[in-house]
Amino acid sequence: MEVFEFVNASYLTLAAIVGGVVIATRLREQLHETRKDLEALEKQLERRDTYITVMRLEADHLAFKETTKSQITELWQFSNKTRDRQDDLK
Protein backbone atom coordinates (compact mmCIF):
# COMPACT_ATOMS: atom_id res chain seq x y z
CA MET A 1 0.00 0.00 0.00
CA GLU A 2 2.81 2.36 0.69
CA VAL A 3 3.91 2.19 -2.92
CA PHE A 4 0.48 3.23 -4.13
CA GLU A 5 0.39 6.06 -1.63
CA PHE A 6 3.80 7.22 -2.85
CA VAL A 7 2.66 7.07 -6.47
CA ASN A 8 -0.59 8.84 -5.61
CA ALA A 9 1.25 11.54 -3.70
CA SER A 10 3.87 12.20 -6.38
CA TYR A 11 2.04 11.40 -9.61
CA LEU A 12 2.78 14.84 -11.04
CA THR A 13 6.48 14.35 -10.54
CA LEU A 14 6.35 10.89 -12.12
CA ALA A 15 4.30 12.21 -15.05
CA ALA A 16 6.82 14.99 -15.56
CA ILE A 17 9.71 12.51 -15.53
CA VAL A 18 7.98 10.16 -17.97
CA GLY A 19 7.00 13.10 -20.17
CA GLY A 20 10.57 14.37 -20.07
CA VAL A 21 11.92 10.99 -21.13
CA VAL A 22 9.42 10.78 -23.99
CA ILE A 23 10.22 14.29 -25.17
CA ALA A 24 13.97 13.69 -24.91
CA THR A 25 13.65 10.48 -26.95
CA ARG A 26 11.62 12.21 -29.67
CA LEU A 27 14.07 15.10 -29.79
CA ARG A 28 16.97 12.69 -30.13
CA GLU A 29 15.22 10.93 -33.02
CA GLN A 30 14.46 14.25 -34.73
CA LEU A 31 18.07 15.35 -34.27
CA HIS A 32 19.27 12.09 -35.84
CA GLU A 33 16.92 12.56 -38.83
CA THR A 34 18.02 16.19 -39.19
CA ARG A 35 21.67 15.15 -39.25
CA LYS A 36 20.95 12.55 -41.95
CA ASP A 37 19.13 15.20 -44.00
CA LEU A 38 22.05 17.59 -43.53
CA GLU A 39 24.54 14.97 -44.70
CA ALA A 40 22.41 14.28 -47.79
CA LEU A 41 22.26 18.00 -48.57
CA GLU A 42 26.02 18.34 -48.14
CA LYS A 43 26.55 15.47 -50.61
CA GLN A 44 24.21 17.12 -53.11
CA LEU A 45 26.02 20.42 -52.68
CA GLU A 46 29.40 18.75 -53.20
CA ARG A 47 28.15 17.07 -56.39
CA ARG A 48 26.77 20.39 -57.65
CA ASP A 49 30.03 22.17 -56.88
CA THR A 50 31.95 19.42 -58.66
CA TYR A 51 29.67 19.74 -61.69
CA ILE A 52 30.10 23.52 -61.77
CA THR A 53 33.87 23.15 -61.49
CA VAL A 54 33.94 20.65 -64.34
CA MET A 55 31.81 22.91 -66.53
CA ARG A 56 34.09 25.88 -65.83
CA LEU A 57 37.16 23.80 -66.63
CA GLU A 58 35.58 22.65 -69.88
CA ALA A 59 34.77 26.24 -70.83
CA ASP A 60 38.32 27.33 -70.01
CA HIS A 61 39.70 24.40 -72.01
CA LEU A 62 37.57 25.26 -75.05
CA ALA A 63 38.64 28.90 -74.86
CA PHE A 64 42.29 27.82 -74.59
CA LYS A 65 41.87 25.50 -77.59
CA GLU A 66 40.33 28.28 -79.67
CA THR A 67 43.08 30.72 -78.69
CA THR A 68 45.77 28.16 -79.45
CA LYS A 69 44.18 27.32 -82.79
CA SER A 70 44.02 31.01 -83.68
CA GLN A 71 47.65 31.52 -82.69
CA ILE A 72 48.78 28.50 -84.71
CA THR A 73 46.89 29.79 -87.74
CA GLU A 74 48.52 33.20 -87.38
CA LEU A 75 51.96 31.59 -87.04
CA TRP A 76 51.43 29.61 -90.26
CA GLN A 77 50.25 32.71 -92.05
CA PHE A 78 53.33 34.59 -90.86
CA SER A 79 55.55 31.68 -91.89
CA ASN A 80 53.97 31.55 -95.36
CA LYS A 81 54.33 35.31 -95.82
CA THR A 82 57.97 35.13 -94.77
CA ARG A 83 58.61 32.26 -97.19
CA ASP A 84 56.86 34.15 -100.01
CA ARG A 85 59.01 37.25 -99.34
CA GLN A 86 62.16 35.14 -99.43
CA ASP A 87 61.03 33.55 -102.69
CA ASP A 88 60.39 37.02 -104.17
CA LEU A 89 63.91 38.13 -103.21
CA LYS A 90 65.56 35.23 -105.06
Per residue in 17-40, pLDDT (tens digit) is 999 999 999 999 999 999 999 999
Is the pTM of the predicted complex or chain greater than 0.95?
no
CB count within 10 Å of CB 15 equals 10
Q: CA distances (Å), 30 to each of 17, 21, 37, 38, 58, in order?
A: 20, 14, 10, 12, 42
Longest C-alpha distance within the chain, in Å? 129
Report pLDDT for 79. 94
Alpha-helical segments (H) within the chain: 2-9, 11-89
* Single-letter residue type at 43: K
